[in-house]
Structure 1
Amino acid sequence: MESAELLNLLGNENRRRILRLLSRKPCYVTEIGEYLDVSPKAVIDHLSKLEDAGLVESHTDGSRRKYFHIAQDVRLEVTVSRHEYGTKSAYPANPGMDIRGRCAHVELDVDGETDDPDDTGAADGGTDGVDVGQLAAEYDRLREMENELSLAQRWVRGQIADLLDRLQTAVGTETDAQFHADLLAAVVSTDGTRRRVTAAVDAPAGEVRRGIDRLVEAGVLERDGDHYRVSD
């Protein structure tokens, strides 16, 4: 679902509490109501909204009691800075996805992956052929990697904010530092024609033209025929 819709949905505290509870175990309506201290009718209304969004689904056990559980993993990111506001939602990649060579700026140790879960060979201390100790160690390693990536993201956001501050000072504008940065990056990474720059920043042609004109007036860009390049 769209990140803005997800953000609106999670704006309700009780829905967030329901998701927190369901992330631990499947629950039925009465159980959720007792946890939230709200009426079953209110719980059903919240669950309906979460189901419509695809975050929650239900199943019925042998005694025909209806349990609700998390339907899928979703990550929501919100960025609020001096130069940017944005939201982004994403779904985890398939566990079999090979990212070797695809992260040019990040070094990831992806060689410590767990064995095939279908492997039924002997395993010391395992259960039904699964090495529980190995899985626990791999879980710990991936959580450490997750924390390191979170720290790296914070560092990158700080570097971007500082760069945009410096760029804003160099260009001499009060606003649109990120848009100007996107334009300059597009000029550097393409052939510098307005058509290619417009496609790269995914913005209306008129807005791109005005942005380029502002950068030319500021002496940051210069025109060479049909091409633009960063001034020396």
Structure 2
Amino acid sequence: MIDDDGGSGLLDVLGNRNRRRIIKLLREKPCYVTEISERLTLNPKAVVDHLQYMERAEFLSSRKDARRRKYYYLVRDISIDIKVADAPGMLLNNVPSYHDKFINSVVNLRSLLNTRNRYIETLEYLEGDIDAAIDDLVHASKDILAGETEINLITALCNSDLSIPEIHRITDVPVSHIECAMKRLEGMGIVTRHGQKYSVRETNGK
């Protein structure tokens, strides 16, 4: 039950489709930022903003595991019951139009759910490919990257170009460590800098 003081926060959370998707995902298990970003195909920066908003609203909390990755989990789930009452004095001749509208709604919902299921099947294959690619990265980086921190930084940069503060928000790696790692990776030609943003250097050297 949400009281009056929390009503506006609840509406703000439920009124945003991606926040609803994040909540649905966190019902399954606690997740960290890059995992949410990959499974929902959302920009990591947007994921962080949504998570921080819902954490301030006390719907979520976070903890760090042994590898210092920050996991988010639900502390207050949301369940809404909707009751529809018959309108007093509803005329019988209105029933056919309501019936047609209902049938159209069912057909539309079924079509959307079928489309979503097809996307989910595709995403499941992609998630498997992403996991395999990360494993390949870990094995290929043994003689190149200096440990798990740099692997996490490269993984984050594979998702989007990021500044050091943005990398810190996503990975929770201390800023000083990120700065040292970025300087080393840039010197090795693995990442490149454009203003405040860093990106993974492509194979053609761009």
TM normalised by structure 2 equals 0.41
Larger C-alpha radius of gyration, 1 or 2?
Answer: 1
Q: Which has the higher contact order (CA 8 A, sep 6+)?
A: 2
Higher relative helix content: 2
**TM-score calculated relative to the size of structure 1:** 0.37
